[in-house]
Amino acid sequence: MLTKIPKQFYFFLAAIFILNLIQSSFTQLIFDEAYYWYYSQDMAWGYFDHPPMVALLVKISSFFFNGELGVRFMSCVLSAINIILLWLMIDNPKKNDYIKHFFVLVFSMTLLNAYGFFTLPDTPLLFFTSCFLLTYKYFIKKPTAGLAILLGIFMAALMYSKYHAVLVIFFVLLSNLKLTTNKYAWLAVIIALCCYAPHFYWLYENDFVSIKYHLFERPNGAYRFEKYTLGFLVNLVAIFGLTFPFIYKALFKTKGNDLFSKALIYLTYGVLIFFFVSSFNRRVQTQWIIIVCIPLVVIAFNYMLQNKQALTWIYRLGLINTVLILYLRMGLAHQPLLFNFHYESHGNKEWAKAIEEEVGNIPVIFENSYRNAPMYSFYTDATPTFSLNNFMYRKNQYSIDGSEEQIRGKDVAYISQYDKNPTFTYEKEDGGLYKGKYIANFQSYRKLSCIIEDTPITLNSEKSIDLKIYNPYPEAIDLNKLKFAVTYMDNYKTPVETLKMTPKPKQTTVTTLKQQDTTNFIFQLPKTKKENIGYFRVVISENGLLYGLNGQAIPVN
């Protein structure tokens, strides 16, 4: 199959692959990449925010290279193979005469271009979407056990990449409901479930923390048309740049005359409609809709081969896109090219080294920053680092792994935006300010869990509420070291007011929280005059730190 691809195709492919390798080597990490690099330092079947495929890519990359390329190498490899897979999905015999047009189409898609070197969960999601679709293309022609097994493996790989990969599987199935009566299709489902079983077990062992976060705990706000729905519509343009009118025209003009074309159309419309509806509830991030780039490459290129006007205009506008993208890519590595616009790939190594020079080799704790903690660790080789999350932030991987244990009892540098009397400061290139101080014998207990089972609860009620506090630590914790409060939140779980309260142990002799045990308390909600209160959370401050995220958000009447 691969031998039928013309040499010219491989020349273009090699040029893009080399460009991505160079870009990867000379562009500093963005914050999400540093966070996924942190994942890879402790390989597991799952992580707080995402399944583990992105961590696996980083781990494999690190076997070949150090530094930034040691994070991104596999992304470069997968993106090159992905282009081959896209080419193989196109059956038109005229395609070999328009190789340069194909590469302009692919390279001019902004996010598809960016994920050619960035290592993010969408990188494997794009690759395995192509693997899944190409396998499905052959499966519907002649189902076999071998193709079914391959299809099942790719479905599992999709889900190991990102949870909303379920949309790919669902909309392809919706395009061909006869699959529900196909024994080989059921074999594919069984294989996928077996391959995905380790992640199911990880979710169970970790109280389904990832599912709870994505469904119930992600930050949100009141609906604003310009931020949510209009923002989604702008994203539809942004992912294709100047070629967008012709890309969407190709979609509108394409008919599902065969099962594969029908699958591509269902997948594209399905994802777009799903996230359009979602835009009335929350802000849709640009990368969430990037899946549509895969079917739309095939749809648009087939349309170009049939329509000379589309061929000409997509090629011309795609070249303009390409020039702009190349300029922006150079700016990612070298800030002055972006007219002093500061992007998150600029200056991270510099601020990390500056803080290291100040604090030496002691552990560094960043308050409310799962972004800064791994970035500092990556560019200084410093371990351990830690993100201490409080009630004004959100939980993340640092909330569930063993990183807190590595810094407890040690002398640390503590960096917080809330510190009014810092010992040292460092101003970043973008104007941000790091403020730090030194803490001896640091002690935190962020994994203390506050459990309330009777919900919902009436606001400003005199009723006593049962509270269970679970101490997962291997030592008892003196209650005198702890302060308790209730954080009231609005309907979007944004903190509004935090009021102190003192829970009473049900057993009057209790002075500690026993190790790896649950202690029972009762308390009353402190009264508040604030309006629009939708939730409350019981929170704990230990040793003078800001209150943590110890309890779930509980609805109030």
Residue-wise pLDDT tens digits, 494-513: 999 999 999 999 987 899 99
Q: What is the arithmetic mean of pLDDT over 47-56? A: 97
pLDDT tens digits for range 522-557:
999 999 999 889 999 999 999 989 999 999 999 998
Residue 375 forms part of a structural domain: yes
Write down the pLDDT at residue 417.
Answer: 84
Residue 381 forms part of a structural domain: yes
* Residue pair 57/74 in contact by the 8 Å Cβ criterion: yes
Least confident of 355-359, 365-369, 414-418: 414-418
> Pick from 406, 439, 472: which residue ends a domain?
439
Residue whose structure tokens are 């395009």? 175
pLDDT tens digits for range 104-141:
999 999 999 999 999 999 999 999 999 999 999 999 99
Write down the pLDDT at residue 431.
Answer: 72
Which pairing describes strands 512-513 and 477-478: parallel, antiparallel, or unpaired?
antiparallel
Task: Report the chain's mean pLDDT, rounded to a whole number.
Answer: 94
Same domain, 532 and 387: no
Residue 127 forms part of a structural domain: yes
> Pick from 439, 459, 486: which residue ends a domain?
439
Same domain, 392 and 530: no
Same domain, 470 and 331: no
Same domain, 378 and 325: no
pLDDT tens digits for range 425-462:
988 777 778 899 999 999 999 999 999 987 778 998 88
Write down the pLDDT at residue 1.
Answer: 43
pLDDT band for position 2 (cuts 50, 70, 90): very low
Would you say the pTM of this structure is higher than 0.75? yes
- 147 CB-near residues (< 8 Å, 6+ apart): 135, 138, 139, 184
In terms of Cα–Cα distance, which of 195, 329, 311 is closest to 249?
311
Range of the domain at 249: 2-335
Write down the pLDDT at residue 288.
Answer: 94
Write down the pLDDT at residue 188.
Answer: 98
Same domain, 16 and 64: yes
- 545 CB-near residues (< 8 Å, 6+ apart): 388, 390, 444
Query: Is pLDDT at 175 greater than 50 in this prediction?
Result: yes
pLDDT tens digits for range 458-480:
998 889 999 999 999 999 999 99
Same domain, 409 and 467: no
Same domain, 54 and 155: yes
pLDDT band for position 393 (cuts 50, 70, 90): very high
Same domain, 430 and 455: no
pLDDT tens digits for range 293-326:
999 999 999 999 999 999 999 999 999 999 999 9
Residue 343 forms part of a structural domain: no
Residue 347 forms part of a structural domain: no
Residue 345 forms part of a structural domain: no
Beta bridge partners of 158: none
Same domain, 514 and 463: yes
CB-neighbour burial class of residue 483 (10 A; exposed 0-12, middle 13-18, buried 19+): middle
Residue 344 forms part of a structural domain: no
Same domain, 233 and 369: no
The one-letter code for the residue type at 393 is Y
pLDDT band for position 339 (cuts 50, 70, 90): low
In terms of Cα–Cα distance, which of 351, 352, 332, 330 is closest to 342?
332
> Pick from 335, 365, 395: which residue ends a domain?
335
Which pairing describes strands 412-415 and 364-367: parallel, antiparallel, or unpaired?
parallel
If one counts the domains in the chain, the total is 3
Query: Is pLDDT at 485 greater than 90 in this prediction?
Result: yes
Same domain, 426 and 541: no
Give the separation between CA 276 and CA 134, rounded to whole angstroms. 27
Residue 263 forms part of a structural domain: yes
**Helix (H) / strand (E) containing 204:** helix 183-205
Write down the pLDDT at residue 427.
Answer: 84
Same domain, 285 and 375: no
